[in-house]
Structure 1
Amino acid sequence: MSDLSVVAEPGRQDIVMTRTFDAPRDVVFRAMTDPALLPKWWGLRETETVVDRFDFRSQGNWRIVERDADGQEYGFHGVIHDVSAPESYTQTFEFEGMPGHVLMETHRLEEVDGGTRYTSTAVFQSVEDRDGMLASGMETGAGQSMDQLEELVRSLV
């Protein structure tokens, strides 16, 4: 049972997501940042995830493409700004279908009760951008990704 929490307070420019994983922090961090493991959890279940590039280091950049059953592609990219393994990393995130709407994400992993609490704080350029992300169904997509990440980390322990 997922304990995913998505908090978007009215009038604010951020979304805070939390989820607990039944796995050690270093395993969760590796699953989230290893380009060979990303396609196993990132994106919707019904899409194929392709890692175009993932240079996971400060000032490195990344690009991931989701491909649906009809061959339609949805690209996402950003820049890694800070890495403090296995505690946190910060990156930008931009959906290529809506260029110019960049958000800054900080991902934190804390050891709790033999598991790991993941907290993602996404800060948008405006409340409108944040509300647009919520309206796009991001909570459903995030839930699927987090469930797939849970399945992956269980297989890695």
Structure 2
Amino acid sequence: MTSTSTHETRIEADPTLPTIRIVREFDAPQERVFRAWIEPQLVAQWLGPEDLDMKIDDWDGRTGGHYRYSMHRDGQEVAAFYGSFHEVRPATRLVQTFTFEGVPDGVSLDTAVFEAVGEGRTRVTVLSVVDSLAARDAILASGMEHGVVEGYRKLDALLAGASS
């Protein structure tokens, strides 16, 4: 495996809370990492597993905005997601809802915090809160770790390139 980063993706689930915490460092300044998280043409290049293509169906990346995107394999839609941007604080914080269309009652509230950690690096901590431990466990069992880890590897490559 060739990678532009050796940073570990930590996915943590407190056994007593319906939360998932994802922590990852990136070799780029906060502003570049945040842009890759909120600008649709950049998000489409990295979010999700390597074997799926993302199509942005709707994206209004501002406080009070919304989004919908779908994931495709061999030209066929395999999953779609939507939500609202509750707070977009440039380069520092993003709060949004996240819903898998296949489970419309399973809304999570996700808060991403972007923190400079020196030498041009950024730590992103995403805290997802769902309504039950069962919902949290279903998300963890869904294979989300695979998509998160591969997506972050794609984000490493995007941040290392000139396009971001």
Shorter-chain TM-score bucket reads over 0.9
Question: Who is 1:142 aligned against?
Answer: 148
Deviations 1:39-90 (Å, cap 9, x if unpaired)? 1101111111001111011110000100012613310000000111110110
TM-score normalised per structure 2: 0.92
- Counterpart amino acid of residue 121 in structure 1: L
**Alignment partner of 1:51 out of 45, 49, 56:** 56
Contact 2:9 2:24 (8 Å CA) reproduced: yes
Instruction: Tell me the secondary structure at the aligned position of residue 157 of structure 2.
Output: helix
Residue identity in the other structure for 2:30: R
Aligned to 1:82: 87
Aligned position for 2:106: 101
Cα pair distance change 1:62/1:70, threshold 3 Å: closer
Counterpart residue identity of residue 118, structure 2: D
Instruction: Report if the CA contact (8 A) 2:66-2:84 is conserved.
Output: yes
Q: CA deviation at 1:152?
A: 0.7
Deviation at 1:9, TM superposition (A): 1.6
Partner letter of residue 75 of structure 1?
Answer: A
When structure 1 is superposed on structure 2, of 2-11 and 24-33 the one drifting more is 2-11
Q: Does the CA contact (< 8 Å) of 1:2 and 1:147 recur in 2?
A: no
Q: Give the residue type in structure 1 aligned to 2:136.
A: R
State the one-letter code of the partner of 1:40.
Answer: Q
Deviation track 1:81-121 (CA, whole Å, cap 9, x = no partner) reads 01111101100000001111100000110000220001000
After TM superposition, list the pairs within 5 Å mapping 1:119-138 onto structure 2: 119-138=125-144
Q: 1:58 to 1:70 in 2, by over 3 A?
A: closer
How many Å apart are 1:10 and its aligned residue?
1.1
Runs of at least 5 residues in structure 1 that lack an aligned partner in the other structure: none
Structure 2 unpaired stretches of 5+: 1-5
CA distance in 1, matches of 2:52, 2:7: 21
Matches of 2:86 and 2:133, distance apart in 1: 23
Q: 2:70·2:77 contact (CA, 8 Å) conserved in 1?
A: no
Aligned position for 1:28: 33
Q: Which moved more, 1:66-75 or 1:86-95?
A: 66-75
Q: Please report the RMSD computed on the Cα atoms of aligned residues, expressed in angstroms.
A: 1.2
Indicate how the Cα distance of structure 1 residues 37 and 13 shifts in structure 2: closer, same or farther if over 3 A, else same: same
Q: Is 1:69 the counterpart of 2:74 in the alignment?
A: yes
Q: 1-side partners of 2:29 and 2:109: how far apart? A: 26
Q: How many residues in Structure 1 have an aligned counterpart in Structure 2?
A: 157
How far residue 2 of structure 1 moved from its aligned partner, in angstroms, is 2.8
